């Protein structure tokens, strides 16, 4: 056996022993019944209510998005057929980039094949440009930002999560002349909290740093037009680069960055993760464009999502379900043990037809394993009744026996 094969065998055994082996649950989405999915087990189909989707607004199953995708598929075919440079730029890509730049009030935007790729490619490129970059990274930043920073020669400083004092200490201690970048998120989806964007931008100004903000969990949801928390807080103009995804609130696929025209042009001209890969399918570009235009014009869809999230939080509190604090649309419930977290999730599925993802290490630190609920406009009061009854049974709330 090759040493690598032996390693695979041992690593998988270890992962299993630690209760964090990842098994996927294949759930068939039904556009007419979202968030009820179909789950096939032993040849039998069952309905499952999903509480974990990142298609927060249900735009992936919205008529306007599906129609745009179907029409684009019929007229342009399916794949893009090339990189952006090699016959892979359609007028739809250009229109989508213009729409994204406008959404964030920036001069330009650049599409990537995913949000992950946009963070990795943009940060690697920026931090690989000048000599001596120093990057200041929130401790809870997403893996894609960490990958981008690690793929660069920049010196990385990690500040405690959302801790302005710690960030300022690190900025003050860095060489005054070094080029600096602060990289952070707006909504942290595992902790359901939100960064003080304006205050971080003020520190950036004070120490001559640039700012890079991941609004992946906020675009489509926050702000008068769904431009994110920076739009809500009126500070988008103070952020140099805003990064987002088309795959969560906008319900389609792909990632992007927005910023000054020359910054975007530089990344367009030099980032390997942009240049050397086939562009987004026109089907997706058309659907994303329709989705963004719809979301910008329909604040009531956002309002409904927040009403549902606040209702779920209140009802969890009334029912004694131990949820973590949340100032966002995400509702985490702490379980605190990987094996139990998986077992609770599994029982909800098997016994109650409810799906909520167990969030385990390495996504969150060990001992803070949790279930992460993402209520949306289509979760009804009756679905909440069922969810709460199921959770109370599985978590043995109101009895002495825990799961
Ligand atoms: C999901 C996520 C990404 C990646 O976006 P994709 O479009 O899914 O690749 C980036 N940043 C954060 C914070 C995320 O949660």
Q: Which of 55, 123, 144 to mutate to test the pocket of ligand 1 (most atoms within 8 A of CB)?
A: 144
Q: What is the pTM of this model?
A: 0.96
Residue 34: pLDDT band by 50, 70, 90 thresholds?
A: very high
Tens digit of each residue's pLDDT (9 = 90 or more) over 346-388: 999 999 999 999 998 888 889 999 999 999 999 999 999 999 9
Spatial separation of the C-alpha atoms in residues 60 and 74, rounded to whole Å: 18
**Which residues, 6 or more positions from 127, have their beta carbon under 8 angstroms from its beta carbon?**
133, 135, 148, 149, 152, 153, 154, 181
| Ligand 1 atom at shortest distance from the alpha carbon of 141 | 13
Residue 21: pLDDT band by 50, 70, 90 thresholds?
A: confident
pLDDT of residue 399: 65
Spatial separation of the C-alpha atoms in residues 78 and 310, rounded to whole Å: 40
Spatial separation of the C-alpha atoms in residues 187 and 329, rounded to whole Å: 9
Tens digit of each residue's pLDDT (9 = 90 or more) over 47-85: 999 999 999 999 999 999 999 999 999 999 999 999 999
Q: How many A from CA of 313 to the centre of ligand 1?
A: 24
What is the set of active-site residues?
248
With a Cβ cut-off of 6 Å, ligand 1 is lined by 114-116, 119, 142, 144, 185, 189, 214, 216-217, 245, 247, 255
Residue (of 383, 333, 377, 381) closest to 354 by Cα position: 383
| Ligand 1 atom at shortest distance from the alpha carbon of 185 | 13
| Ligand 1 atom at shortest distance from the alpha carbon of 54 | 1
Q: Are 235 and 222 in contact (CB under 8 A)?
A: no
Q: How many A from CA of 22 to the centre of ligand 1?
A: 19
Q: How many A from CA of 148 to the centre of ligand 1?
A: 13
Q: How many A from CA of 112 to the centre of ligand 1?
A: 12
Q: Are 243 and 256 in contact (CB under 8 A)?
A: yes
| Ligand 1 atom at shortest distance from the alpha carbon of 255 | 7
Spatial separation of the C-alpha atoms in residues 69 and 61, rounded to whole Å: 11
Ligand 1, atom 6: nearest CA belongs to which residue? Answer: 115
């Amino acid at each position: 056996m090759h040493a690598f094969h032996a390693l695979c065998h041992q690593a998988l055994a270890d992962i299993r022993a630690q209760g964090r082996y990842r098994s996927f649950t294949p759930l068939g989405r039904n556009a007419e019944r979202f968030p009820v999915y179909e789950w096939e087990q032993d040849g039998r189909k069952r309905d499952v209510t999903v509480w974990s989707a990142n298609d927060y607004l249900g735009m992936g199953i919205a008529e306007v998005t599906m129609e745009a995708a179907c029409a684009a598929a019929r007229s342009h075919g399916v794949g893009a057929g090339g990189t952006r440079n090699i016959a892979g730029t359609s007028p739809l890509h250009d229109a989508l980039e213009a729409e994204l730049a406008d959404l964030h009030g920036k001069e330009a935007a650049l599409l990537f094949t995913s949000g992950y790729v946009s963070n990795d490619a943009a940060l690697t490129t920026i931090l690989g440009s000048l000599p001596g970059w120093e990057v200041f990274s929130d401790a809870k930043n997403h893996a894609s930002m960490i990958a981008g920073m690690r793929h660069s020669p920049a010196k990385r400083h990690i500040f405690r999560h959302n801790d302005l004092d710690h960030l300022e200490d690190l900025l003050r201690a860095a060489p005054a002349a070094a080029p600096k970048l602060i990289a952070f998120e707006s909504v942290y989806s595992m902790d359901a909290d939100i960064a003080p964007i304006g205050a971080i931008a003020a520190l950036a100004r004070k120490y001559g740093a640039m700012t890079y903000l991941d609004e992946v969990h906020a675009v489509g949801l926050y702000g008068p037009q769904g431009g994110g928390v920076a739009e809500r807080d009126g500070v988008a103009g103070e952020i140099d680069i805003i990064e987002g995804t088309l795959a969560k609130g906008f319900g389609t696929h792909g990632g992007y960055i927005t910023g000054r025209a020359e910054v975007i042009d530089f990344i367009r001209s030099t980032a390997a993760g942009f240049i050397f890969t086939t562009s987004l399918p026109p089907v997706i570009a058309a659907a994303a464009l329709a989705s963004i235009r719809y979301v910008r014009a329909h604040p009531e869809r956002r309002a409904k999502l927040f009403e549902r999230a606040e209702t779920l939080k209140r009802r969890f509190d009334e029912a004694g379900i131990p949820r973590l604090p949340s100032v966002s649309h995400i509702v985490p419930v702490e379980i605190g043990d990987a094996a139990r977290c998986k077992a609770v999730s599994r029982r909800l599925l098997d016994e109650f037809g409810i799906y909520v993802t167990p969030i385990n290490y390495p996504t969150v630190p060990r001992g803070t394993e949790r279930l992460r609920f993402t209520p949306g406009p289509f979760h009804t009061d009756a679905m909440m009744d069922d969810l709460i009854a199921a959770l109370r049974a599985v978590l043995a709330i109101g009895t002495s026996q825990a799961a």
